[in-house]
Amino acid sequence: MVSLDKNFVETMYSVEGKVALVTGATGALGKVAAKAYGYLGAKVMLTGRNSAKLQELVDEFKAEGIECDHFAADPAKVEDVEALIKATVEKYGRIDILAIAHGFNKPQNILEQSVEDWQYIMDADCKSVYIVLKYVAQQMVAQLDGAENVPSGSGGKIVVVTSQRSKRGMAGYTGYCTSKGGADMMIASMACDLSAKYGINVNAICPTVFRSELTEWMFDPESAVYQNFMKREPIGRLAEPSDFVGYVIFLSSHASDFITGAACDCSGGYLVC
């Protein structure tokens, strides 16, 4: 018999009382994701490499009644990630949600790009994602106290920001496209490792260009770059960081319990043109 639980429907988007760890929290998308978790009643651990900027965020969030703390860490260093997880668990007791929103790019033609620059992008956008995912997943599994084959989503929720550039190449983006494409495949594989056995959902969102300090120049309607984007943006505009909050909350809540290993299109229709 087909049935539908009313309480599930009424609470399926809730993250209240959950503990959310957000990397890249000082970036445009990381900040709005972290604040959204806090607005909805989650306890939030903010991380990035700049302790001063993180403290500013904590002050801002706490002024709005958000329960949060920060811990500075380099996501590409195992010892930093282990210390971050330890600090989060000591503060809040567990980790229920991981949102990975850090990243780096240095566009260069492959003929001019050094192997060292390419490797730095790969480490920042792919290796670091692997490290954070691996050690947070270990913590989530430890929280199950030996239980296996738990209901989907009950072991934890992991959301990784990759990019539309994981789907398409672009001049000057040999490092970035490779790293983001690798991250998408890594997430798909980790879902196969973690979801059925441990109830941990692992998904990616793949945005197109969104407003930040680094991309503000692209939002000039008179610029050739903006006009070229509009040829392939059915939605008729570029994105704001807040446009992705719905995706993040959906993939962090029980509403997405049957979704794992997905690379969700967040492009305003970019891929359909």
Helix (H, G, I), strand (E, B) or coil at 18: coil
The DSSP letter of residue 15 is: -
Catalytic residue among 37, 92, 173, 176: 176
Percent composition of the chain: helix, strand, coil (DSSP 3-state, to 5): 50, 15, 35
Tokens, residue 136: 């947070």
HSE (side-chain half, CA atoms, 13 Å) at 78: 1
In the residue annotation, 247 being an active-site residue is answered as no
- Tokens 């109830």, located at residue: 199
Going by C-beta distance under 8 Å and a sequence separation of 6 or more, which residues neighbour residue 164?
A: 206, 207, 208, 265, 266, 267, 270, 271
CA 175, CA 177: separation in Å to the nearest integer?
6
The DSSP letter of residue 93 is: S
HSE (side-chain half, CA atoms, 13 Å) at 28: 15
Which residues, in sequence order, are bridge partners of residue 210? 239
Going by C-beta distance under 8 Å and a sequence separation of 6 or more, which residues neighbour residue 262?
A: 203, 204
Burial of residue 215 (CB within 10 Å: 0-12, 13-18, 19+) is middle
- Tokens 């970035």, located at residue: 176
Q: Which residues are catalytic?
A: 176
